[in-house]
Amino acid sequence: MSNVHTRALLRGGVGLTVAAMLLTACTSAPKDENADGGSGPSSSGAAPDAAVVKGIVDDAGIVDNTDFCGDKDITLGIHDGFGINAWSQESLAAMRSEAAKCPNVKTIVQIGQGDLQKSISQVNSMVSQGIDALAIIPDFGQAQLASLQAATRAGVSVVPWGADPGGQDGSDYVSYVDWSSADAGTKWAEWMVKVLDGKGKVVFIGGPAGNPVTTGQLASIVKVFAKNPGMELLTGDKDWPVTNWDPATAQQVTASLLTKYPTIDGIISDYSTDALAATRAFDAAGRTVPPMATLDANGLGCFYDEQQAAGNKDFQLATISSRNWLGRVAVRKAIADAEGVANDEPSTYTLPFFEDSVDGTAPVCDKSLPEDFYPSNKISADDIAKYGKP
């Protein structure tokens, strides 16, 4: 894929190519992402070994082997279409610290700040600057596919992760690395059914309108609740109250929901920092915080401890890893492809609960760390400080 001659010939025309391709970008629905619970294939196409998958998940993507680095001097582009919240900082830290293991790899880092056109322009610019590989969170989904295809045609080893851009592994990019967001939605919904004994009114809050991550989760939640007629999704089957993954907005959104609905028996959120902000809205309204299913965050673990100490036994917590550690896998795949080195790690992962207060997996709280620190990623505070910003 990383053909030097192809890159030299095509780089100069990438901007025009992207402009043309944006008009004809495919509009296929987001991938089902192995909603049945299976892990996706590796980039080689081989079925992943279950023990290998478990090891990668249990170790948050940390490996000692640096064979992926190869020995050629290359430049890796790192891009996040959002890049301005705590989740993005840990994602950048995961990617940049992994790339730092390779002395032969130079990095260029850009963030899109929630702006589609800026994100596309930045990718084009990095390609023009001569990157050989690109690890990217395409937060705008299919709207960014054309720019990824153009980069691939220019000879760049592109590995999107964290937000599905559509397209096909092996042709539009090397491979798409992520958890199964559909499986996450299923796990959250099934847990909520269990903790509410099959009957309750639930709200679901999520990220920017139409983003592929929240879309996949909502579809799964709707399927689970449809099999459990005692469950009601107050926020609807087609879309969700938009938080833009911003905690201030999430608190405002939750306050509005509390005004609208006199009874809320459960909360599902696809961003743990938003979930923590939602608890503040409940407190401000004088309402008891109900069971919550979301991603992990240190602040939520501490909040759980506080609620139990205060006697709110109704508050239960189930979290899945915030999965920023998948950036490590994405970087390894991008560098390995540009180096011509084989990488047989799986591309898609179904993640177990990281915390489940109902089943005895105690929520994690470290009062010496920030609320928006995500313990499941096994990223140190020092690495976040060093690598968490461009």
Q: Tell me what the mean pLDDT of segment 210-231 comes to.
A: 95
From edge to edge, which strands make up the β-sheet containing 231-233? 231-233, 200-205, 266-269, 292-295, 317-320, 353-356
CATH class of 4-34+47-180+323-350: alpha beta
At residue 49 the predicted structure's pLDDT band, cuts being 50, 70 and 90, is confident
DSSP string for 115-134 = -HHHHHHHHHHHHHTT-SEE
Give the pLDDT of residue 111: 96
217-226 per-residue burial string, b: 16 or more CB within 10 A, e: under 16: bbbbbbebbe
Q: By mean pLDDT, which of 22-31, 101-110, 344-353 is the weakest? A: 22-31
At residue 46 the predicted structure's pLDDT band, cuts being 50, 70 and 90, is low
CA distances from residue 146 to 123, 149, 160, 161, 180 in whole angstroms, order as listed: 11, 5, 13, 16, 23
Q: pLDDT digit string (tens) for 271-312? A: 999 999 999 999 999 999 999 999 999 999 999 999 999 999
Give the pLDDT of residue 50: 82
Percent of the chain with pLDDT over 70: 88
Is the pLDDT at 36 greater than 80? The verdict is no
At residue 47 the predicted structure's pLDDT band, cuts being 50, 70 and 90, is low
Give the pLDDT of residue 155: 98
- In angstroms, the CA 324 to CA 283 distance is 29
Q: pLDDT digit string (tens) for 178-201? A: 999 999 999 999 999 999 999 999
Is the pLDDT at 328 greater than 60? The verdict is yes
Sequence letter at residue 49: D
DSSP β-ladder status, 348-349 and 178-179: parallel
Apex 356 CA angle, 352 and 357, nearest 5: 175
Percent of the chain with pLDDT over 90: 83
Q: Tell me what the mean pLDDT of segment 255-267 comes to.
A: 98
Question: Tokens at residue 89, please?
Answer: 């900082």
62-72 per-residue burial string, b: 16 or more CB within 10 A, e: under 16: bbeeeebbbee
Listed residue (267, 325, 265, 317) closest to 296, CA to CA: 317
DSSP 3-state assignment of 1?
coil
Residue-averaged pLDDT of the chain: 89
CATH homologous superfamily of domain 181-320? Response regulator (3.40.50.2300)
Asked if the domains 4-34+47-180+323-350 and 181-320 are classified in one and the same CATH topology, the answer is yes
Give the pLDDT of residue 370: 95
Report pTM.
0.84
Is the pLDDT at 8 greater than 60? The verdict is no
Give the pLDDT of residue 386: 97
Is the pLDDT at 3 greater than 80? The verdict is no
**Domain chopping of the chain, boundaries:** 4-34+47-180+323-350, 181-320
At residue 12 the predicted structure's pLDDT band, cuts being 50, 70 and 90, is very low
Residue corresponding to tokens 């991938």: 31
